[in-house]
């Protein structure tokens, strides 16, 4: 099967946009990701899928902690920055939640301790137990077929 065909099919699925953050040796790191899913209510578990060649992969493996920052409809610039599509012009201000650097003004942020890792294909699935949550009002940033979008109100 052609890789482009597979990517095109996956792009038909609309998702929210997250930035996964962690800290290693006192420095904050982030990566845009839409491969995020809730796994369990009891215990409260979420999963992020990170490519084994991504810089963030080894940072999460070492820190054993991460935060999921669910972006608002006004944070497309942050998504582009942490996806490596934008190199400058975007100021990033980190706050801290449960000792992990997090983005400000997201509609939801949750911190996690890694409880399991599964190498599957060219990605590792990091399952994290949620340790803290911060919520704010707002609408989510959406992504589908290579484009950003917003909810119709």
Q: Does residue 6 lie in a domain region?
A: no
Give, in order, the Cα–Cα distances in Å from 131 to each of 21, 75, 87, 88, 109: 14, 24, 32, 32, 11
Q: What are phi and psi of 89, to 5 degrees?
A: 90, -5
Domain of residue 109: give its range.
13-149
Residue 2 lies in a domain: no
Residue 4 lies in a domain: no
3 occurs within a structural domain: no
For residue 109, what is the enclosing H or E element?
strand 108-120
Cα–Cα distance measured from residue 5 to residue 26, given in angstroms and rounded to the nearest whole number: 41
Specify the number of domains making up the chain. Answer: 1
34-87 pLDDT per residue, tens: 899 999 999 999 999 999 999 999 999 999 999 999 999 999 999 999 988 777
136: in domain: yes
- 1 domain-assigned: no
Instruction: Please give the model's pTM, rounded to 2 decimal places.
Output: 0.92
pLDDT tens-digit readout, 14-35: 889 999 999 999 999 999 998 9
Residue at 134 is within a domain: yes
DSSP-derived pairing of the beta strands 123-135 and 45-51: antiparallel
CATH code of 84's domain? 2.30.110.10
Residue 21 lies in a domain: yes
């Amino acid at each position: 099967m052609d890789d482009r065909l597979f990517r095109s099919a996956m792009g038909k699925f609309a998702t929210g946009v997250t930035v996964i953050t962690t800290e290693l040796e006192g420095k904050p790191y982030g990566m845009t990701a839409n491969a995020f899913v809730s796994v369990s209510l009891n215990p409260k578990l979420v999963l992020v899928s990170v490519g084994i060649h991504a810089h963030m992969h080894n940072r999460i493996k070492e820190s054993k902690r991460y935060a999921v920052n669910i972006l608002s409809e006004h944070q497309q610039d942050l998504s582009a920055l942490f996806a490596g599509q934008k190199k400058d012009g975007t100021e990033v201000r980190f706050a801290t939640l449960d000792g992990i650097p997090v983005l400000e003004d997201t509609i939801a942020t949750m911190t996690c301790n890694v409880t399991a890792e599964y190498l599957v294909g060219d990605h590792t699935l990091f399952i994290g137990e949620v340790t803290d949550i911060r919520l704010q009002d707002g609408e989510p940033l959406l992504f589908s077929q290579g484009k950003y979008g917003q909810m119709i109100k």
